[in-house]
Amino acid sequence: MQIIQRRKIYYIISLIILVPSIISLMFQGLNLGIDFQGGTLLQVRVEAEETTSADVRAALHDLELGIEYNVQQSDNDFFIRTTELTQQDTEAIISGLDTALGGVELLETEMVGGIISSELARDAILALIIASVLMLLYITIRFELYFGIAAILAILHNVILVLGVFSIFQLEAGMPFIAAMLTVIGYSINDTIVVFDRIRENISMERREDTITMLNRSIMQTIVRSLNTVLTTSVVLFAVLLLGGVTLEIIAIAMLVGFIVGAYSSLFIATPLWHDLSNKFKTKRV
Amino acid sequence: MKKSTSGLLAAVLIVVLGVLVYYTYEPVIEDVNLGLDLQGGLHVVLEAQEIEGQELQEDTITKSIGILRQRVDGLGVTEPNLYPQGDDRIVIELAGVDDPEEAVNILINTAQLEFWDEDGNVLLTGEHLTDARAAMQQGYNVAEVQLTFDDKGTELFAEATAANINQPLPIAIDEEVISSPIVNSVITDGRAVITGNFTADEAQELAVLLRSGALPVSFEILQKRTVGPTLGAESLESSLIAGLVGLIAVLIFMLGYYRLPGLIANLSLVVYILIVIAVMNSIGAVLTLPGILGLVLSIGMAVDANIIIYERLREELRHGKSLKAAIEAGYKRALSTILDANITTLIAALVLMYFGTGPIQGFAVTLTIGIITSLVVVLTFTRALLYLSGNISQNKKLYGV
């Protein structure tokens, strides 16, 4: 297969999906969870079948607590998101809904204060940066700088795409999402390294072939492994997505998108990028 | 090694393994510490509020933790987790609480008990209590809380009752009057009773609060997560089913695609999962919902390590190497790739473990344990089985070529 020769096609494909992601991130932003914005999330189960979120909203309105809220429904479970609530307000909501809707069970509450949310956001960003730098360092030591740069560019590509999906569909980005994001980064590196490892090995064999043939061969040698690994992890993630309940849904979506994009980018983006990078800078030195 | 001895060895190994898995499975699973999101519970971060007259002292947080611990014990929670964070924060984690919201209410109550005179002057405080017990009033269906004072308290209470004969003596908790009995006579035995309008449960709660004493400062909730037992049980069930379905799919795929090595991978995977759970139990790690995801991911990494080896093995076989040589070369060449791939992910996991909080930490812990265990299993168990299988059969078809 002539993957390296056709690299411009892959660059263009990536650009075509990157551009809407970036536009959405710039204009729509992310739907930040309460972890990063502060606020309260209540999950209640209403006994009466056929209760709608309009009913819940009406019941909340009648309580006259003077708070803003957003109600989402999943079967008989309702997710109520509001500003930071005191214990008294939380209790008032639960008992108020219980009376108005005839039997309500409180499944989960989550309250994050303003101070904590900015601390969490800071820690999350810090963790992302430190992890990326350390991984780049490791690859540079184990391989060489151009491998590291190509790997980081490919990862950036994957991160923007996953962020883009979350921005376009306005999926909630909270703490679990950050964990998923970091996994995507770790996994993308993992994927890229398997290919680069093969390239390094093929370089050292010093066969009589040009670089492009060698790179194509390296990709073909690792492509089955990439496909099989994506297949097995996707199967597990699909199971989590379909059966794992609401809480794990968001993480599973992030990972699924990230893993598939990660496998693609390590073969069709990272390797051609390394080729272009090392060509451009190394030939000048000679 | 001769073929027959190797075959025998493999058979014995598989039988021993089966027996081992069968007998260790139950105790290992039973020992798992479930996080609050899988069995219900609460996670609260409290911050001390400094106001005039209630400044933070060096030991305020330690004292408060002691008091909160007593309250938690009163709730009957096993293995509570309370610890300070920074200078003025306390983190409380309780798993297995039936009504976590109510528990939060009990915890953040300052519970400052005061006896007032008619003008609102404080005559006696909860500081002088030695005991508080809930009881049912004899002959009536009314709950009460019986108080016992220390020597100083007994003295003060005698003075207070003496000065207020035939007058009300309001009893207030956190500045809210809960009972206002009329004093009939001077009480010198250091005993008092609070009868208010409360149920037996409320009396019990109040007794716990008073017994543990008042918090030296009031606290505000910075962050709170409570999960009811219903949701916890549902999350546990759905995530286990999802994990199991995913795992079975992977096992079938590996066996179908890689044949004999696939079988080895599957055996390794079962051993791997048991070891991870056993390690988590032995270091007292808690399994949370994100933790399960970390586990799932590390299973993916473990499978990936096997796939890398077998793809390499197939390649060597296609180059016409003998099975034994191919196994040796395939394993060796795959190893550096596996190491590099796992170490980079390990870096990410360790950073997360250090900087992450709550759910992220749970995820990072299982991922870290998972990656290390996966490497150990691949280096020992998988390798041994693979070399052994090379001795048993030279049939390349078993290797999918």
Domain match, B242 and B316 both: yes
Choosing from B56, B89, B110, the residue where a domain stops is B110
Domain count, chain B: 3
Residue B138 counted as domain residue: yes
- At B54, give phi and psi (nearest 5°): -130, 65
What is the per-residue burial (b if ≥16 Cβ within 10 Å, else e) of B321-352?
bebeebbbbbbebbbebbbbbbbbbbbbbbbb
Nearest-Cα distance to chain A for B364, in Å, is 8
Vertex B266: Cα angle to B263 and B267 (nearest 5): 90
Determine the Cα–Cα distance for residues B387 and B380; give it in Å rounded to an integer: 11
> Which CATH number do you get for residue B76?
3.30.70.3400
Instruction: Indicate where chain A has its CATH 1.20.1640.10 domain(s).
Output: 4-33+116-283
Tokens representing B359 are 């759910």
The whole-angstrom separation of Cα B308 and Cα B330 is: 9
Asked if A225 reaches chain B (Cβ–Cβ under 8 Å), the answer is yes
With contacts defined as CB-CB under 8 Å, which chain B residues touch A115? 47, 222
Chain B contact present for A127, CB below 8 A: yes
Q: Identify whether residues B166 and B254 lie together within a single domain.
A: no
Residues B197 and B318 in one domain: no
Long-range contacts of B290-293 (CB under 8 A, 24+ apart): B290/A176, B290/A179, B290/A251, B290/B359, B290/B360, B290/B362, B290/B363, B291/B35, B291/B362, B291/B363, B291/B365, B291/B366, B292/A248, B292/B239, B292/B240, B292/B243, B292/B366, B293/A179, B293/A240, B293/A248, B293/A251, B293/A252, B293/B363
B274, part of any domain: yes
Q: Does B238 touch chain A (CB under 8 A)?
A: yes
Based on the domain organization, do B24 and B142 belong to the same domain?
no
Report, as ranges of residue numbers, the positions in chain A whose pLDDT lies below 50.
Answer: 284-286
- Of A174, A42, A163, A40, the closest CA to residue A120 belongs to A174
Given an 8 Å threshold on Cβ–Cβ distance, is B105 in contact with A87? yes
Amino acid identity, position A90: T
Encode pLDDT of B360-384 as tens digits. Answer: 788 888 889 999 999 999 888 888 8
Cα B47 from Cα B64, distance rounded (Å) = 11
- The last residue of one of the domains, among B214, B242, B262, is B214
Cβ contacts of A236 on chain B, cutoff 8 Å: 243, 246-247, 249-250, 296, 299-300
Can you state the angle between helices B358-377 and A175-205, rounded to 10 degrees?
30
For residue A179, give the nearest of B222, B246, B359 by CB distance.
Answer: B359
Comparing A61-70, B135-144, B201-210, the range with the smallest average pLDDT is: B135-144
* pLDDT tens-digit readout, A172-199: 888 778 777 877 887 888 888 889 989 9
| Residue B242 pLDDT | 87
B290–A176 C-beta distance less than 8 A: yes
Cβ–Cβ contact A110 with B under 8 A: yes
Buried (b) or exposed (e) across A240-274, using 16+ Cβ within 10 A?
Answer: bbebbbbbbbbbbbbbbbbbbbbbbbbbbbbbbbb
- Distance in Å, alpha carbon of A82 to nearest chain B alpha carbon: 14
B296 and B392 co-located in one domain: yes
CB contacts, 8 Å: A243 with chain B? 238, 241-242, 245
Query: Looking at the partner chain, which of A120, A238, A255 has a beta carbon nearest the beta carbon of B357?
Result: A120
On whether residue B220 sits in a domain, the answer given is: no
Q: Is B353 on the interface with A (CB under 8 A)?
A: no
Which of chain B's residues have a Cβ under 8 Å away from the Cβ of A224?
311
Distance CA(A140)–CA(A12), nearest Å, equals 28
Nearest to A243 among B245, B311, B333 (CB): B245
Q: Is B360 on the interface with A (CB under 8 A)?
A: yes
Cβ under 8 Å to B: A residues 16-55: 43, 45
Q: How far apart, in Å, do the first and last CA atoms of chain A sit?
A: 30
A101 in Cβ contact with A46 (< 8 Å): yes
pLDDT at A10: 94
Domain CATH number, residue B166: 3.30.1360.200
Together in a domain, B178 and B306: no
Specify which residues B171 forms β-bridges with: B115, B179
Q: Are residues B105 and B139 in the same domain?
A: no
- Rounded Cα gap, residues B364 and B350, in angstroms: 7
Best of B38, B92, B101, B224 to mutate (most A CBs within 10 Å, chain A): B224
Structural domain includes residue B219 = no
Asked if residue B321 and residue B204 are part of one domain, the reply reads: no
Number of Cβ within 10 Å of residue B313's Cβ equals: 27
Question: What residue numbers bound the domain in which B234 lies?
Answer: 5-37+228-399
Cβ-based neighbour number of residue B176 at 10 Å = 6
For residue B234, the chain A residues in CB contact (below 8 A) are 245
Contact between residue A270 and residue A11 where contact means Cβ atoms under 8 Å apart: no
Q: Based on the number of CB atoms within 10 Å of its own CB, is B296 exposed (0-12), middle (13-18) or buried (19 or more)?
A: buried
The interface residues of chain B toward chain A in range 101-140, judged by CB-CB distance below 8 A, are: 101, 104-105, 108
> Is the domain of B372 the same as that of B239?
yes
Q: What span, in angstroms and rounded, lies between the C-alpha atoms of A141 and B66?
A: 50
Neighbouring C-alpha atoms within 13 Å toward the C-beta of A20: 9
Does A113 sit within 8 Å of B223, measured CB to CB? yes
Q: Would you state the structure tokens that stand for residue B152, as one six-digit string?
A: 């100083």
Rg, C-alpha atoms of chain A: 24
Closest residue in B to A177 (Cα) is B360
Please list the residues that pair with B146 across neighbouring strands: B133, B193
Interface mutation vs chain A, best among B106, B296, B375, most A CBs within 10 Å? B296
More confident: A69 or B78: A69
Quick one: pLDDT at residue B3? 59
Indicate if B76 and B26 belong to the same structural domain. Answer: no
Q: Which among A176, A194, A244 is the nearest to B359, CB-wise?
A: A176
E strand or H helix that includes residue A76: none
- For residue A6, the tally of other CB atoms under 10 A from its CB is 12
pLDDT digits (tens, 9 = 90+) for B219-243: 889 999 999 989 988 888 888 888 8
Give the model's pLDDT for residue B218.
Answer: 85
Query: Distance between CA atoms of B351 and B359, rounded to whole angstroms?
Result: 14
* Angstrom distance (rounded) from CA A175 to CA A177: 5
Q: Tokens 């060895």 identify what position?
A: B9
Is B278 part of any domain? yes
Q: What is the largest CA-CA distance in chain A?
A: 81
pLDDT tens digits, one per residue of B337-362: 898 888 888 888 888 888 777 777 88
- Give Cα separations from A140 to A135, A149, B341 (angstroms): 9, 8, 14
Residue type, A13: I
Q: Which CATH class is domain A39-112?
A: alpha beta
Q: Tell me the pTM.
A: 0.80
Top pLDDT among B26 and A7 is at A7
CB–CB of B227 and A107 under 8 A?
yes
Least confident of A34-43, B179-188, B392-401: B392-401
Residues from chain A contacting residue B309 (CB–CB below 8 Å):
none
Interchain CB distance below 8 Å, B344 and A242: no
Do B45 and B31 fall within a single domain?
Answer: no
Q: Which residues pair with B226 in a beta bridge?
A: A109, B42
Determine whether the interchain pair B341/A245 forms a contact, defined as Cβ–Cβ distance below 8 Å.
Answer: no
Q: Name the nearest CA neighbour of B268 among A187, B258, A185, B137.
A: B258
The CA distances from residue A157 to A139, A153, B87, in Å, are: 18, 6, 41
Q: Does B344 touch chain A (CB under 8 A)?
A: yes
Tally of CB atoms within 10 A around B8: 12
Which of A:169-208 have CB within 8 Å of B? 175-176, 178-179, 182-183, 185-187, 189-191, 193-194, 197-198, 201
Residues of B in contact with A182 (CB under 8 A): 348, 351-352
The predicted pLDDT at position A285 comes to 40
pLDDT score at A286: 35
Q: How many CA atoms lie within 13 A of A125 on its CB side?
A: 6
Q: Are A140 and B347 in contact (CB under 8 A)?
A: no
CB of A92 less than 8 A from some CB of B: no
CATH number belonging to domain A4-33+116-283? 1.20.1640.10
Last residue of a domain, which of B189, B214, B239? B214
Q: Maximum distance among all alpha carbons in chain B?
A: 107
Q: Is B363 on the interface with A (CB under 8 A)?
A: yes
Same domain, B329 and B386: yes
Contact B267/B383 with Cβ under 8 angstroms? no
Distance from CA of B369 to the nearest CA of A (A): 15
